[in-house]
């Protein structure tokens, strides 16, 4: 019965992972060297770990920290591809392809942060909204009066204001207003959303990846004085050391650009509607 339970759990985890279009060829790679341990930092407590049998040993020094090292019985002649590491947090599943290398030219990381781009929901969400539902909620948000802004930034006469953050199901709604205090109209190149490190210790350590909106209420490429819009993003789990950066940039040759940064705490405080 115990073996059957383990099999069923593993089967469900794999179904969840593959249902989101992932496969072993697209898994992120972790390189392991001959001696150093590697630590994986999770934004949530780690609740499940599956290691390749006979290749690795691991433990959880902290609830959100997984320490891995090569098994004592491992020899470099065994194989380079060590298998797949699977782990879960409270709400996500992540998998990594483990590759052994003793090349002196390859830098072996000693710590790795589990990033939102490498996570999939542990179970498929039953709270996803259809496009008509997203539009309906975005219109309801847009019809509300703007009170005190959550955040506001200005650069070169262009203002970017976050009016409100709201959540519905597994989505985050950002109510944004762009303003133009100049006499020259603004040609929007793009409105981008990235998760970035708050502090940059070395440029080689800087991590950044994009989040694509699932829905935009009023796509526009030009405004003269003011433009208000609703952007819908998928919810993401990330550590307090990172932030969600919203950037509006103008078409070339202009260089007018304005950004604002949202901490994870701001997203957690989103209004439900």
Give the DSSP letter of residue 117: G
167-198 CB burial, b ≥16 within 10 A, e <16:
bbeebbbbbbbbbbeeeeebebeebebbbeee
Which residues lie closer than 8 Å to 193 by C-beta, 6 or more apart? 210, 211, 212, 213, 231, 233, 244, 245, 246, 247
Give the DSSP letter of residue 198: S
Q: Which residues of the chain have pLDDT under 50?
A: 1-24
Alpha-carbon 216 to chain mean position: 19
Q: How far is CA 235 from CA 13, 90, 268, in A?
A: 20, 14, 10
- Asked if 228 and 162 count as a contact pair (C-beta separation under 8 A), the reply is no
Amino acid 15: pLDDT:
44
Amino acid 61: pLDDT:
94
What's the CATH architecture for 2-121? Sandwich (2.60)
d(CA 174, CA 158) in angstroms, rounded, equals 18
| Percent of the chain scoring above 90 in pLDDT | 47
- Give the number of other CB atoms < 10 A from CB of residue 88: 22
Amino acid 77: pLDDT:
66
Tokens for 156? 């070169």
Domain 131-272: top CATH class: mainly beta
Which ranges in the chain are annotated with CATH 2.60.40.1150?
A: 131-272
Q: Give residue for tokens 């909204």.
A: 129
């Amino acid at each position: 019965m115990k073996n059957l339970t383990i099999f069923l759990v593993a089967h469900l985890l794999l179904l969840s992972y593959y249902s989101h279009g992932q496969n072993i060829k697209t898994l992120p790679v972790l390189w392991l060297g001959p001696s150093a341990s590697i630590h994986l930092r999770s934004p949530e407590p780690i609740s499940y770990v599956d290691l390749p049998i006979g290749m690795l040993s691991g433990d959880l020094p902290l609830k959100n920290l997984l320490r891995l090292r090569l098994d004592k019985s491992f020899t470099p002649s065994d194989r380079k591809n060590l298998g797949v590491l699977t782990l879960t947090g409270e709400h996500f599943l992540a998998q990594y392809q483990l590759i052994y290398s003793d090349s002196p030219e390859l830098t072996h990381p000693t710590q790795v942060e589990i990033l939102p781009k490498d996570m999939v929901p542990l179970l498929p969400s039953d709270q996803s909204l259809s496009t008509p539902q997203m539009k309906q909620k975005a219109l309801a948000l847009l019809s509300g009066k703007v009170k005190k802004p959550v955040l506001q930034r200005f650069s070169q006469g262009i203002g970017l204001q976050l009016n409100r953050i709201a959540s519905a199901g597994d989505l985050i709604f950002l109510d944004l207003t762009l303003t133009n205090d100049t006499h020259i109209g603004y040609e929007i190149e793009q409105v981008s959303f990235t998760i970035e490190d708050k502090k940059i210790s070395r440029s080689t350590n800087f991590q950044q990846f994009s989040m694509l909106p699932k829905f935009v209420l009023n796509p526009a490429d030009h405004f003269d004085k003011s433009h208000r819009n609703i952007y819908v993003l998928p919810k993401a789990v990330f550590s307090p050391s990172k932030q969600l950066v919203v950037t509006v940039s103008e078409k070339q040759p202009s260089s007018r650009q304005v950004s604002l940064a949202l901490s994870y705490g701001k997203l957690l405080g989103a209004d439900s509607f």
